[in-house]
Amino acid sequence: MNNFKISHLKYLAYLKILKFKINLFVPKNTIEFIISHYNEDFKYLDYLPTNQKITIYLKKKNIKKKINKNYNIKFIQLDNIGKEGHTYLYHIINNYKKLSKINFFISASFINFKDRLINFTRIYKKVSDLNKKKYKGLYTFDGYFFLKNKKLKILDPNFRIFKHITSQGIKHILIPSKIYPLKKFLKTNFKNKQMDKYILSLNGIIAANKENITSVEKKVYQNIINEFKVVNRDYEIGHYLERLYPSIFRL
């Protein structure tokens, strides 16, 4: 068995421990897991607690669902627009006044890739922590993101992206953002928010308290989601959001 498989199994075993901890100690329905799901296996549900809310947005039609009835799951069908960025905005807008205490945003593919699994595990650990006050309602992974040469990856305020190669090696030509570059997008939409210097959260995995999310007016989220219109296309604005979630949700 290679090192990746061994490491993968260790993380999955740790997720089981965190699941048990939440089921035992975290009050019911404190956390809501908001999952953007395309055609992934539902195996990831084995690692989520049964005493919390789980909302799964299905972005591919006619998915067969074989789910353990012990879970508190709600399925919502969406068109395949804007990947997880659109999903998260849709959830925030449609639940703005009734958001859960902690909202854990996840792409369903997190269990299949090492970097996503690591990121999920570290945030999951924070969300399960009984002393949540120290995180100030924003749960992202510990430390900063490092490049392979061990230099900190700094957010480029002039960042733009026109094509993207997925984890499966598929090349996407992106629909450009109407407001660019990154710093202008943040300043225009989130006037009272400051951009973090370093990349703190990757792969569209992040959790935040209700108060952190509603520190931004609902109409701001609505203005952004209106840019997502074309089915089965990738958007530059989605890559902006992925880099800016910690800045947007920070109080």
Tokens 């996503």, located at residue = 116
For residue 27, cis peptide bond before it (omega within 30 degrees of 0): no
Tokens 């609902």, located at residue = 218
- pLDDT score, position 244: 97
Among 120-129, 141-150, 166-175, 220-229, the least confident range: 141-150
Give all strands (DSSP E) within 11-83, no chain letters.
Answer: 31-37, 53-58, 72-77
Selected residue with higher pLDDT from 234 and 5: 234
Among 105-109, 162-166, 232-236, the least confident range: 162-166
Under DSSP, is residue 221 helix (H, G, I), strand (E, B) or coil? Answer: helix
Q: What is the mean pLDDT of residues 9-35?
A: 96
pLDDT of residue 4 exceeding 60, the answer is no
Under DSSP, is residue 42 helix (H, G, I), strand (E, B) or coil? Answer: helix
- pLDDT score, position 71: 84
pLDDT of residue 19 exceeding 50, the answer is yes
Residues 125-135: tens digit of each pLDDT: 999 999 899 99
Q: What is the mean pLDDT of residues 217-232?
A: 97
In sequence order, the β-bridge partners of residue 54 are 33, 73
- pLDDT score, position 1: 45
What's the total number of domains in the chain? 1
Q: Which of 63-72, 148-157, 200-209 has the highest mean pLDDT?
A: 200-209
Q: Which domain holds residue 16?
A: 3-249
Residues 22 and 48: beta-carbon distance below 8 Å: no
**Percentage of residues in the chain having pLDDT higher than 90:** 77
The pTM of the full predicted model, rounded to 2 decimals, is 0.94
- Rounded Cα distance between 227 and 220, Å, is 12
pLDDT of residue 67 exceeding 80, the answer is no
